[in-house]
Amino acid sequence: MVLAQKEIMALRKKLFESSNFNGKIMYTFSRYFSSNKMDLRKLKPMIQKRIQERAKDYPVPGMIPVAQEVLNSRRLLMQGVSTLLKVLPVMACKFCPEVYIGEKGHVIQTCCGFKRRGKNRVHEWITGGLNDVLAPVEAFHLKHMFQDVIKHHQRFDFERVPAVVELCWQAGANDGNQYSNWSPESDCCSVDGAESLSPDELVMIASGTLKAWEVLRNGVEKLLMVYPAKVCKHCSEVHVGPSGHKARLCGIFKYESWQGTHFWRKANVDDLVPPKIVWRRRPQDPQVLLNEGRGFYGHAPAVVELCTQAGAIAPKKYHCLMKLQGVATL
């Protein structure tokens, strides 16, 4: 019995010594890799110098033709959609962003009501316009990409321009003398006498508009691989630049402790060029889309649906979303 107790005590002593040895190793290991506190004031000149040197690499010469192509495609897209809206009816909900391409709106209960006070309501339709098909996304216009971050009190000192236009300008599509030529009215243009266009001419305009839509989105996707852009996680605010601005404009958290500060993440194509998905009526569907058949109906981006109704052929990548060969409502 006494021998067993001695063996237990010896075993405990060995475990205690080994634990102290491991502790010394961990302590020396942490001390070896520890570092003193960094003085950010000493690092500030170095950081500013790196930012200035990085700005010399922009704009990238190889991306200037892409940016110019995006601007031209955007101009053709705006002109084509404005022309088609004079021929084809577009309906927009009075209380939510829902859009429908057709003479009569559907009765699918997806409306959230005025100020999102309701849920699953029938839409109240009014005549739609260009901004209902092509959702406007604006951003602050910067003099150069790596300028100082915009403060909240400086939000009125910077002009608001379309985010795609700002991205193309930063990519070198236009020089500084052409910035002042842009105006919101310059985007709203259409072909004169659109009501008297022949069916063949209408198909040609629709096909060109759909092609401009695809070129625009593909070009923006290429530009976003080279040029940074940010979007708020909680709202649709977009900032074209390496870091977001500090203007407290986020309406969701306007009354919270952070007072409308945006929470930025990396932007993608859908943030700068929203597809605006809409319900679409197929030949096998009823004249007015019913709420009971919402699981059978197809969808499409508003621009694609508008162009296909004018006679254009939709690209194959939209066929699955459009449910072209889907069954009718039971």
Q: Give per-residue pLDDT as tens, 59-74.
A: 888 999 999 999 999 9
Sign of the Cα pseudo-torsion (176, 180, 184, 185, in order): negative
Cα–Cα distances in Å, from 118 out to 110, 125, 131, 263? 10, 16, 24, 27
As a whole number of Å, the end-to-end CA separation of the chain is: 86
What pLDDT does residue 273 have?
96
| Predicted pLDDT at 254 | 52
Q: Quick one: pLDDT at residue 175?
A: 47
How far is 136 from 228, CA to CA, in rounded Å? 20
pLDDT for position 37: 67
Q: Which two tokens stand for residue 158?
A: 């910077």
Which tens digit of pLDDT belongs to each residue from 195-226? Answer: 778 889 999 999 999 999 999 999 999 999 99
Strand partners for 111: 121
DSSP E strand stretches across the chain: 90-93, 99-101, 125-127, 138-140, 160-162, 229-232, 238-240, 264-266, 277-280, 298-301
Please report the pLDDT score of residue 25 as a whole number: 44
Q: In which order are the strands placed within the sheet that holds 99-101? A: 125-127, 90-93, 99-101, 277-280, 298-301
User: Do the Cβ atoms of 201 and 148 come closer than 8 Å?
Assistant: no
Strand partners, 240: 229
pTM above 0.85, yes or no: no
Domain ranges within the chain, ordered by starting residue: 57-178+197-322
Residue 16: per-residue pLDDT? 62
Intervals of the chain under pLDDT 70:
1-6, 8, 11-12, 14-38, 51-52, 55-56, 116, 175-194, 251-259, 328-330
Phi, psi of 23 (to 5 degrees): -65, -40
